[in-house]
């Protein structure tokens, strides 16, 4: 009785091999269970691909994969997965802006949003859930949120939109709108 042998090896170099390997990487990552480069290299080996950690690292960069939190783990995800999975909703941010007094300050490419003690995490969460483009991240303390930007143009555009939304929320509150 013949036993199946190990999968045939796919050469690690060459354009066709790189395209095939990267297609396998996309497939593996879409399953949502790849948490390290070593795990990815091992899975590729099981599928017959020879890939060093350096090769896997280059492939990850070329494919634009990023690590994201899924449950209690961090796993690789593709930009396509992130854009389709991201829930964009300005409702929470509008409500937060209507309910809280938030002072907007600036330091370099960082906006500081200062409010009352204990409110920073909900402000940061509202920003992260919103449709705002521009920030590369938020950091919440107790009463202060740092909103980080990659460049001046995005900071100014985001700041303008935040102040507009804040003005609308304030006027809605003054006119007896939802609180």
Range 142-150 average pLDDT: 94
Could you give the CA distance from residue 115 to residue 143 in angstroms, rounded to a whole number? 5
Residue 172 in this model has a pLDDT that exceeds 60: no
27 falls within a domain: yes
- The verdict on pTM exceeding 0.75 is no
2 falls within a domain: no
122 and 162 share a domain? yes
7 falls within a domain: no
Identify the weakest region by mean pLDDT among 16-20, 94-98, 133-137, 151-155: 133-137
Q: In the listed set 38, 65, 85, which residue is the last one of a domain according to the structure?
A: 85
Residue 21 in this model has a pLDDT that exceeds 90: yes
The two tokens of residue 62 are: 């070329």
Domain count, the chain: 2
Nearest to 166 by CA among 91, 97, 114, 93: 97
Confidence of residue 4 (pLDDT cuts 50, 70, 90): very low
4 falls within a domain: no
CATH number for the domain harbouring residue 32: 1.10.10.10
Q: What local confidence, expressed as pLDDT, does residue 30 receive?
A: 86
Q: What local confidence, expressed as pLDDT, does residue 1 receive?
A: 45
CA angle 8, 13, 16 (to 5 degrees): 80
107 and 76 share a domain? no
Percent of the chain scoring above 70 in pLDDT: 83
138 falls within a domain: yes
Q: Would you list the DSSP string of the chain?
A: -PPP-PPPPBPS-SHHHHHHHHHHHHHHHHTT---SHHHHHHHHHHTTB---HHHHHHHHHHHT-EEEEETTEEEEE-HHHHHHH----SHHHHHHHHHS--EEEEETTEEEEE-STT-HHHHHHHHHHS-----SEEEE-SSEEEEE-SSHHHHHHHHHHHHHHHHHHHHHHHTT---
Range 95-107 average pLDDT: 91
pLDDT in tens, 60-75: 999 888 887 776 778 8
Range 105-122 average pLDDT: 94
What is the rounded average pLDDT for all residues in the chain? 82
The two tokens of residue 3 are: 């036993």
Range 131-152 average pLDDT: 89
123 falls within a domain: yes
Residue 84 in this model has a pLDDT that exceeds 70: no
Q: In the listed set 85, 103, 131, which residue is the last one of a domain according to the structure?
A: 85
**CA dihedral (71, 113, 147, 78) positive or negative:** positive
CATH number for the domain harbouring residue 162: 3.30.1360.40
Could you give the CA distance from residue 110 to residue 104 in angstroms, rounded to a whole number? 10
Residue 26 in this model has a pLDDT that exceeds 70: yes
Could you give the CA distance from residue 145 to residue 156 in angstroms, rounded to a whole number? 17
158 falls within a domain: yes
Residue-number span of the structural domain to which 132 is assigned: 91-174
163 and 143 share a domain? yes
Residue 109 in this model has a pLDDT that exceeds 90: yes
179 falls within a domain: no
Q: In the listed set 31, 62, 85, which residue is the last one of a domain according to the structure?
A: 85
Residue 5 in this model has a pLDDT that exceeds 80: no
């Amino acid at each position: 009785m013949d036993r199946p042998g190990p999968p045939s090896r796919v050469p690690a170099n060459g354009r066709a091999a790189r395209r095939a390997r990267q297609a396998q990487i996309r497939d593996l990552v879409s399953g949502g269970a790849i948490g390290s480069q070593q795990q990815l290299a091992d899975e590729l080996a099981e599928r017959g691909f020879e890939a060093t950690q350096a090769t896997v690292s280059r492939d990850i960069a070329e494919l634009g994969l990023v690590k994201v939190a899924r449950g209690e783990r961090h796993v690789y995800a593709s930009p396509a997965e992130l854009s389709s999975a991201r829930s964009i909703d300005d409702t929470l941010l509008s409500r937060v802006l209507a309910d809280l007094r938030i002072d907007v300050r600036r330091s370099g490419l960082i906006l500081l949003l200062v409010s009352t003690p204990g409110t920073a995490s909900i402000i940061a969460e509202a920003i992260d859930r919103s449709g705002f483009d521009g920030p590369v991240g938020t950091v919440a303390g107790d009463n202060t949120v740092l909103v980080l930007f990659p460049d001046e143009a995005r900071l100014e555009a985001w700041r303008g939109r935040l102040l507009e939304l804040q003005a609308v929320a304030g006027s809605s509150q003054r006119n007896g709108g939802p609180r």
